[in-house]
Amino acid sequence: MCGIVGGVGQFAIRDYLINGLKTLDYRGYDSAGVALAEPKGIHVFRMPGRVQALDEVTPRDLDVVLGIGHTRWATHGAPTASNAHPHTSMHGEFVLVHNGVIDNFRHLKNKLESEGYVFKSETDTEVAANILEYHYLKLKNVKDAMLAMIEELQGSYALAILKKGDLKHIYFAKNRSPMVVGRGVGKNLLASDFLPMLKEGQDFAPILDHQYGYITAETIKIYNEDGSEAKPKFTRPDLKIEDIGLQGYPHYMLKEIEEAPAVVRRLIDNYFDGNEFLFDKKLITKMKSADDIIFIACGTSYHACLIGRRYMEYLGKRSEVYIASEWAYHPFVSAKKPLFVIVSQSGETADLIRCMEIINSRGAVSLTITNTKGSTLERDATYSLLLFAGVEIAVASTKAYVAQVALLSLLTGAMDGSTAVVSHLYDVIKAEHAVIAESDSLRSTAKYLSGKKDVFFLGRGTDYDVALEASLKLKEITYIHSEGLPGGELKHGPIALIEKDTPVIGFISDPLTDLPIRSNFKEVEARGATVITVVSKSLAKAGDVITVPDVKEYLSPLVKVLVAQYLAYFAALELKVNIDKPRNLAKSVTVE
Ligand code: AGP
pLDDT above 90 covers a percentage of the chain that reads 93
Q: What are phi and psi of 289, to 5 degrees?
A: -90, -10
Over range 444-460, report the average pLDDT. Answer: 98
Mutate to test the pocket of ligand 1, among 295, 296, 298 (most ligand atoms within 8 A of CB): 298
351 lines ligand 1 (CB under 6 A): no
Residues that are catalytic: 2, 587
Mean pLDDT, range 285-291, rounded to an integer = 98
In short, whether 191's Cβ falls inside 6 Å of ligand 1 is no
- Residue 429 CA to ligand 1 centre (angstroms): 24
pLDDT band at residue 239 under the 50/70/90 scheme: confident
Residue 270, phi-psi category: left (phi > 0), alpha (psi -120 to 50), beta (remainder): alpha
Category of 516 on φ-ψ map: left (φ > 0), alpha (ψ -120 to 50) or beta: alpha
Peptide bond preceding 86 in cis form (omega within 30 of 0) = yes
DSSP string, 478-538: H--EEEEEEGGGGGGTGGGG--TT-EEEEEE--GGGHHHHHHHHHHHHTTT-EEEEEEEGG
Position 243 pLDDT exceeds 90: no
Q: Is the CB of 412 under 6 A from ligand 1?
A: no
5 three-class SS: strand
pLDDT the model gives residue 28: 85
Using one digit for the tens of pLDDT, what is the confidence trace for 165-182? 999 999 999 999 999 999
467-495: pLDDT as tens digits: 999 999 999 999 999 999 999 999 999 99
Amino acid at 260: A
Site to probe by mutation for ligand 1, drawn from 341, 346, 391, 393 as the one with most ligand atoms within 8 Å of Cβ, is: 346
Q: How many CB atoms within 10 Å of residue 109?
A: 18
pTM of the model: 0.91
For residue 589, the ligand 1 atom closest to its alpha carbon is 10
The mean of the pLDDT values for the chain is 96
Query: How far does the centroid of ligand 1 lie from the alpha carbon of residue 406, in Å?
Result: 17
pLDDT digits (tens, 9 = 90+) for 89-123: 999 999 999 999 999 999 999 999 999 999 999 99
DSSP 3-state of 315:
coil
Of ligand 1's listed atoms, the one at least distance from the Cα of 346 is 15
211: β partners: 174
- Regarding the beta carbon of 298 and ligand 1, being less than 6 Å apart is answered yes
**Residue 98 to residue 149: CA distance in whole angstroms:** 14
Show Cβ contacts of residue 358 under 8 Å, excluding neighbours closer than 6 positions.
Answer: 328, 331
**Mean of the pLDDT values across residues 509-517?**
98
pLDDT value, residue 570: 98
CA of 401 to the centre of ligand 1 (A): 9
Q: Do 85 and 46 form a contact (C-beta atoms < 8 A)?
A: yes
CA of 23 to the centre of ligand 1 (A): 18
Instruction: Give the pLDDT of residue 76.
Output: 87
Give residue 31's pLDDT. 95
**Maximum mean pLDDT: which of 16-30, 220-234, 267-281:** 267-281
How confident is the model at residue 591, as a pLDDT? 83
CA distances from 210 to 59, 346, 396 (A): 35, 21, 31
**Closest residue by Cα to residue 218 from 253, 262, 254, 184:** 184
Q: What is the phi/psi pair of residue 272, to 5°?
A: -145, 130
Ligand 1 pocket, residue 476 CB under 6 Å: yes
For the CA of 352, the closest atom of ligand 1 is: 16
Q: Is the CB of 349 under 6 A from ligand 1?
A: yes
In short, whether 344's Cβ falls inside 6 Å of ligand 1 is yes
Structure confidence at residue 530 as a pLDDT band (50, 70, 90): very high
What separation in angstroms does the CA of 498 have from each of 481, 502, 525? 13, 6, 9
Tens of pLDDT, residue by residue over 394-442, are 999 999 999 999 999 999 999 999 999 999 999 999 999 999 999 999 9
User: Per mean pLDDT, which range of 1-10, 304-313, 362-371, 535-544 is the poorest?
Assistant: 1-10
From the CA of 370, give the closest atom in ligand 1: 14
Q: For 367-394, how does the pLDDT look when each residue is reduced to its tens digit (9 = 90+)?
A: 999 999 989 999 999 999 999 999 999 9
Q: Is the confidence at residue 242, as pLDDT, over 80?
A: no
User: Angle, to 10 degrees, between the axis of helix 443-450 and the axis of helix 462-478?
Assistant: 60
* Residue 471 CB neighbour total at 10 angstroms: 23
What are phi and psi for residue 155, nearest 5 degrees?
A: 125, -155
With a cut of 80, say whether residue 532 has pLDDT above it: yes
Distances (CA, A) of 264 to 98, 358, 374, 476, 549: 37, 32, 22, 24, 17
**What is the pLDDT at residue 293?**
98
Contact criterion met (CB below 8 Å) for 300 and 472: yes
